[in-house]
Amino acid sequence: MGKLSTHVLDTASGKPAAGVSISLYRGDELLLSTRTNSDGRTDSALLSGDALVAGQYRIDSAIGDYFASMNHADAKLFLDIVPIVFIISDASRAYHVPLLVSPWSYSTYRGS
């Protein structure tokens, strides 16, 4: 059974990014909005089972708001919403989309 999950890591402080607002879209349709927990993860998979279908997805992470809540001096001076657009080609597999972020940069990869 396939599933989609995410994890946000604050590389500026070297810890999980708790309280990041995340929105998940398939195409232009908003599927859900949630926040990361104290471990920088969502409490459950973003999608799983029959809800996960092949297609183009986007995860928007409100990084500017996260760094503003941490009183970081550079919050919202460069990054605000970080979008990650990706393809689910085989909905029977697991897709983990981590986000490593600072106020000035970000990276992602397909995790396991």
Kindly state the average pLDDT of the residues 13-25: 98
User: How is residue 74 annotated by DSSP?
Assistant: T
Question: Which of helix, strand or coil describes residue 64?
Answer: helix
Please name each of the domains of the chain with its CATH number: 3-108 (2.60.40.180)
pLDDT band at 79 (very low <50, low <70, confident <90, very high): very high
Kindly state the average pLDDT of the residues 24-47: 98
pLDDT above 90 (res 112): no
For residue 63, count other CB atoms closer than 10 A to its CB: 25
Is residue 43 within 8 Å of residue 65, measured between CB atoms?
no
**What pLDDT score does 68 carry?**
98
Kindly state the average pLDDT of the residues 86-110: 97
Q: What residue has token string 């941490």?
A: 70
Q: What is the mean pLDDT of the chain?
A: 97
C-alpha span between 4 and 91 (Å, rounded): 9
pTM of the model: 0.96
